Chain A
Amino acid sequence: MSKVVSELKYSAEHEWVAVDGSGPAGIGISAVAADALGDIVYVDLPEVGSTVTAGETCGEVESTKSVSDLYAPVTGEVVEINDGVVSDPALINSDPYGAGWLFKVAVTEEGPLLSAEEYAAANGGEL
């Protein structure tokens, strides 16, 4: 069963958010989503300096079998994107909560987020 990391928060659209005190929040997609998509071969991320809005699409993740919109789980300015995952999208499958992170946002407002327990219960993940 796909892993759900207990220290993170999650959106209903399967993004995870690492809120790091006052610093920018790291964002990625959950192992549940990565496993469902299959082997990810392309990722389109928002640009550094752009503003994303919680609940709105901000990119896409494409696997061999399907394509899925990326939703911003928070509102704020994108301060960094993971170039490693752009050149090697398979990192999202192999390490979705680590090397497969997607981008960081200076959060001005959080969207509705779930705790790890709530997310796992709704999506069949394993804590």
Chain B
Amino acid sequence: MTENYTALYEQHKKAGASFTDFGGWQMPLKYSSELAEHHAVRNAAGLFDLSHMGEVWVTGPDAAAFLDYALTGKLSAVAVGKAKYSLICDADGGIIDDLITYRRADDKFLVVPNAGNAKVVARALAQRAANFDVTVEDASAQTSLIAVQGPNAEAILLKLVPADQHALVTELKYYAAVEVGISFGGTVRDLLVARTGYTGEDGFEIYVPNLDAPALWEALLEAGEGSGLVPAGLACRDSLRLEAGMPLYGNELSRQGNPYAAGLGPVVSLAKESDFVGKEALGALKTAGVGATIGQKLVGLKGTGRRAARGHYPVLKDGALVGEVTSGQPSPTLGYPVAMAYVDVEFAEPGTVLDVDLRGKPESFEVVALPFYKRQK
């Protein structure tokens, strides 16, 4: 696989980042301590480079009808300015990716897939567009994405927004996006700002052309001085999203899995009038009771000891294999090990005590409701 570098690679190097491959991209894993970065996002703010994420624009008179067909959600029901979390599934119901779709106009949507899936999603959308009057344009290579996440995110962002546009930011709802003037590098540029994130905190994701990304990154860091803002890497992004109970494609979600086992049944609109890719298979899975009365279900696990469960560790009940951990680590915020795991539905009830095989030693974990962490509003 070729290595991709974001437009902010030099900024990360300068900040002392250690890098990791993620979805074919060289991304900052951490700058100093992933624990310090995690706590900064929970208590102050963190600055993330998410430029590895994809950006696929869908435009044209049939854009809404097309996305109703291509994705599991009812995108035609999304108001202009709002966003929706959805899935793109195979005909057999397997999950190709989870994605956020922003409606920018009646006939214009921005679809944001995960880094490692961006090309696959763009290709699948292009294929599914055959009978629709739409244009599918993969702008991933030209677009950077910078996120400011944490309780101080709004105050930091406002420092770069002209006063007469502050209300656009302060009144922006969760899962909504708006074009806002942002002042950096000597001028004010209109950029798409979304109130979304993957950390369980309030925060913003800002779409910016690659050329402008370094100057915006520097301006945000400067605006965050005195507000506890630190650059934050993928290591803490993973621990933050795990605490917030958010699935990661490749860990909790895959082609072999399905939305019902993953607890994402509500994201599948079987009720929408139009046909969509995967509808028949997904309807059959739901009718069969997958993730409810048969098969496995994604659950939260809370460790009772200090040792953490990790991805792929076996989950046991009375010594018998009943599941597998998908993600796990010590929770920096909560102070005990947390994990997500697929377990047989009969053991998925919160309060059930199971064992995780920690490298040969069983350690007891309790099934708990997700998320592990919910911020105080």
Contact = CB atoms under 8 A, between A and B. Distances in A.
Contact of A42 (B35, B238, B307, B359): B307
Contact of B34 (A42, A44, A60, A64): A64
Contacts of B235: 38, 64-65
Given A64-B235, A65-B235, A65-B329, A38 B307 contact: no
In the complex, which of the residues A38, A60, A66 has the most CB atoms of chain B within 10 Å of its own CB atom?
Answer: A38
Interface in B24-55: 30, 33-35, 38
B16 to A, nearest CB: 11
Interface residues of A, number: 13
Counting chain B CB atoms within 10 Å of each CB, which of A38, A39, A42, A93 scores highest? A39
Query: Among the interface residues A41, A64, A66, A67, which one has the most CB atoms of the partner chain B within 10 A?
Result: A64
Given A42-B308, A64-B38, 5 more contacts: A38-B30, A60-B359, A64-B235, A65-B235, A67-B359
Contacts of A39: 33-35
Interface string B340-374: 00000000000000000001000000000000000
Nearest to B330: A41
A39 B308 CA distance: 14
Contacts of A90: 35
Interface of B: 30, 33-35, 38, 235, 238-239, 306-308, 310, 329-330, 332, 359
B332 A64 contact: yes
Interface in A34-57: 38-39, 41-42, 44
A71 B310 CA distance: 21
Given A64-B239, A64-B332, A42 B33 contact: no
Given A42-B330, A62-B330, A67 B308 contact: yes
B33 A67 contact: no
Contacts of B38: 64
A60 to B, nearest CB: 8
A66 B310 CA distance: 8
A42 B331 CA distance: 12
| Most interface-central of B35, B38, B238 (chain A CB within 10 A) | B35
The 4 nearest A-B residue pairs measured at CB: A39-B35, A41-B330, A42-B306, A39-B33
B29 to A, nearest CB: 8
Nearest to A89: B306
A96 B239 CA distance: 24
Contacts of B332: 64
A102 B353 CA distance: 33
B33 A62 contact: no
Nearest to A39: B35
Contacts of A65: 34, 235, 238, 329
B307 A64 contact: no
Given A64-B235, A67-B310, A93 B329 contact: no
A94 to B, nearest CB: 10
B239 A62 contact: no
Contacts of B238: 65
A39 B235 CA distance: 10
17 contacts: A38-B30, A38-B33, A38-B34, A39-B35, A41-B306, A42-B330, A44-B307, A62-B330, A64-B239, A65-B235, A65-B238, A66-B310, A67-B307, A67-B308, A67-B310, A67-B359, A90-B35
Given A38-B235, A39-B35, A42-B330, A62 B307 contact: yes
